[in-house]
Amino acid sequence: AQFQDFMVVVLLMATAISYGMGETADAITIVVIVVLNAVLGFVQEYRAERSLEALKELAAPTARVIRDGREVTVSARDLVPGDLLLVEPGDRIPADARLVEAPGLEVEESALTGESLPVRKSASWVGDPDVPLGDRRNMLYMGTTVTRGRGRALVVATGMQTEMGRIAHLIQEVGEEETPLQRRLAQLGRWLVAGCLIVCAIVVAAGLLREERLTGPVISQLFMAGVSLAVAAIPEGLPAIVTVSLALGVQRMIRRNAIVRRLQSVETLGCATVICSDKTGTLTKNEMMVRAAWVGGRSYTVTGDGYRPSGEFLREGRPVSPQQEPDLAQALKSAALCSNAKLVQAQPARRGRGDGAAGGRSGRSHRPGMVQVVFSVQGDPTEGALVVAAQKGGYRPAVLQDRYRRVLEVPFESERRRMSVITEDGDGGYLLHVKGAPDVILELSTHMLRDGRIVPLTDQDRQAILDENLRMADQALRVLAVAYRPLSFAAGEGPDQLAELSTDEAAARLERNLVFLGLLGMIDPPRPEVKQAVAAARRAGIRTVMITGDHPATALAVARELGIVGAEGRAVTGRELDQLSHSELIAAVEECQVFARVSPQHKLQIVRALKELGEVVAMTGDGVNDAPAVKEADIGIAMGRTGTDVTKEASAMILADDNYATIVAAVEEGRGIYDNIRKFIRYLLSCNTGEVLTMFLAAVMRLPLPLLPIQILFVNLVTDGLPAIALGIDPPEPDVMRRPPRRPDEGVFARRLGIKILGRGTLIGLGTLTAFLVAFFTLPGTPGVAPLDDPAVLNPARTMALATLVCAQLIHVFDCRSERRAIWETPLSSNPWLVAAVASSVTALLLAIYWPPLAAIFETAPLQAWQWLVVLLLASAGELLVAIRRLILFGRPVRLRAHVEEEA
């Protein structure tokens, strides 16, 4: 593929012609450059498409099934439809299966559906065939994880027939598209080659018509002129410099935690107009936390960051100590004791490495430059949030469990909607701790705790609790109620006897006359940096769209908090999308910012509709459910820490720190890289235009070649190449994120770039030809040898032309650093690599002139002082004329003029 570029093909044709005419050095030089470019492109763009392999890694390696009436363990690959699958907490589901038994079963499906919380499962039949994936409570899906309870399920699909298999199939169906940069460079290549062939044909035809006798030397000279023009017209280093520039940009992006997997997708970010983002784990942390509490008639706000057990409890905006608030203290203790989740502190890691995906659910320290402490939850994330809240209040789970020994658990069941635990303290007293749905717990309660005293629960209290429950639900909080009751057992009764009873019987004896403690509202919180990133994207003209499998109310609450939508914003559900015609879908996608309860197919529809509207779409995601849309987008972005392997393989870029704000930094780099590509295209094509004009005018004037093909290659690849690469690492200009996105169909020569190239190229060409003519008509030749064939005249003349061309281009490179500012307004200190590159090019020129081995190859001759004076005057004439024109037309305030032009 690296050899299919149109410019490369023409160069290879020129190589064949040069070799056929005996110009072996020229042919070898061109081949070396083409091969180097191919190697660079291959190394930088190499990435394997391993979506199916990653999908296989998600499958459980073994599974427990009932076969022939016996429980056996088999390889997950050997499962077949009809097997009776057994699952328990911690199991990864190896196939799609329909439940036949599901006592207390909950499954974590966020990677598949985007739902933050584990889903309660049931063996009850779901009659609606159109029910969304996340609401199919009687189904288990491959790659999801059991968090609670046990179950038996009948396998109905394996491998590619599963929901994950369908997602993998969707990924395969999504084809690779050229990026805007690839399309523009291909167009540029066609233009250059077409222009080159036309000029070559004109020169050769004119020569053939002019010559009376077409001898071998005449034909050879005409072909050499044609090859020289071809070499001059085509910027041989352009493909390699584009590749190197993109690669250097990729290195800068890696330092900013954006890992690019598809090299030329970097530039696509610069013209992104829409960022489609999943909610769970991308805009939010995928870590449940207690945000609000209502205890003893008082409201509290809880601060903190995910699972990290640090934060404050605020009452009326003022910090309070839960240990000084008896009602809040008891609620936190009972909630933690009635939980099975564990808060785990992982091995400390140095912040900012971002070179791997952290497994599971985790919370991290956010102290820049410090050792990062990682916390994760083992078990149900809702219970994990309760344990973290208790520890924020000063009640460490390990200490609580030592003081209050658990003696009995009445497990949670979806029919009961509650869970109870009996604990025994050191004095032999027993306490019952209950948590569950607010309406259920309230119905079982007869008293409440207020100011540390147990008081009767009045109708007014009940209404206040229901009102608070509604208020929290309106904020998209998941609300749990907590209650407790001191227990006393008669002789012959106790926890051991209760353990022998069924769940319903034990609950009937225990869960009554409860003391209501309060309500705890939890949410998967937005990432703290995302709100600012969304605002920055809006300033840059980029719209953020949330696409999630979560509930519409939750999605809207998060979207409003992040500023994605206003108070009047609404969410469109996947079921609503199914009922829309194509035109209605286009209209909905154009107007709406939040899509909820959507399937992977819906995500694909939305991305495709946005692209149909002419948007350049960046799609972020972490779960398996995001992978097809991530690959369909103009640039797919996966999360590095929480993203699944399937999504990473489908993406073009990975955020190593899972930080949405990194996208904005990547957009800035993408825009800067495109600006830099325009800079070195302007630089290289100005130089090539000067070369073509020099060769064309010399041919028309029946002069010998002012520059040999190998000298032109030397200029294009050695003295031009390094400065062009240095232009590619220019830092982005300060206003780059205050401009609107570019149109993806914007041509390479947009915004008067073509006029600038032709103007400067004309000045460079005229200066180069003038230098050749000065030497050709003033230097003494060899007696008896015609000037047209005399190396004593031609070599110094060509050397002066070569030196003038190189010096003019090296002066021009500083003018190319900005399209908005004059050469003296862009400080050299901002890009020391450019100064070094120019110095290296000057050194290479001097070596080619004064070092005998290179002088013999390039057919150059040493220049005298007066000749260097002529060279420098002619080389700087172009920049002096441009500076004078600027001063005459615009005066001194060039920055002000640039700002006005930009605003217009």
Q: For 677, left (φ over 0), alpha (ψ -120 to 50), or beta?
A: alpha
In order of 446, 670, 727, the CA distances from 248 in angstroms are 69, 12, 11
- CA 652/CA 640 separation, integer angstroms: 12
Residues 105/91, Cβ–Cβ less than 8 Å: no
Which listed residue (278, 626, 634, 730) is catalytic? Answer: 278
Structure tokens at 622: 């972490």
User: Dihedral of the CA atoms 856, 858, 863, 869 (nearest 10)?
Assistant: -170
Grouping H, G, I as helix, E, B as strand and the rest as coil, residue 622 is coil
- CA 470/CA 338 separation, integer angstroms: 24
Grouping H, G, I as helix, E, B as strand and the rest as coil, residue 130 is coil
Q: How far apart are the first and last CA of the chain?
A: 42
- CA 134/CA 117 separation, integer angstroms: 11
User: Which residues contact residue 499 at a Cβ distance below 8 angstroms, ignoring those fewer than 6 apart?
Assistant: 408, 506
Strands 374-378 and 362-364, by their bridges, are antiparallel
Place of tokens 């590749």: 243
Q: Which helix (H) or strand (E) holds 110?
A: helix 110-113
**Is 278 designated active site?**
yes
Grouping H, G, I as helix, E, B as strand and the rest as coil, residue 499 is helix
- CA 771/CA 779 separation, integer angstroms: 12
| One-letter amino acid for residue 555 of the chain | A
Closest CA to 405 of 425, 386, 387: 425
CA 628 from centroid of its chain's CA atoms:
15
Strands 514-523 and 478-487, by their bridges, are antiparallel
Q: In this structure, how many other beta carbons lie within 10 angstroms of the beta carbon of residue 48?
A: 7
- CA 337/CA 518 separation, integer angstroms: 15
Per-position DSSP letters for 835-880, written without gaps between them: HHHHHHHHHHHHHHHHSHHHHHHHT--PPPHHHHHHHHHHHHHHHH
- DSSP H helix total and E strand total for the chain: 32, 33
Grouping H, G, I as helix, E, B as strand and the rest as coil, residue 262 is coil
Active site residues: 278
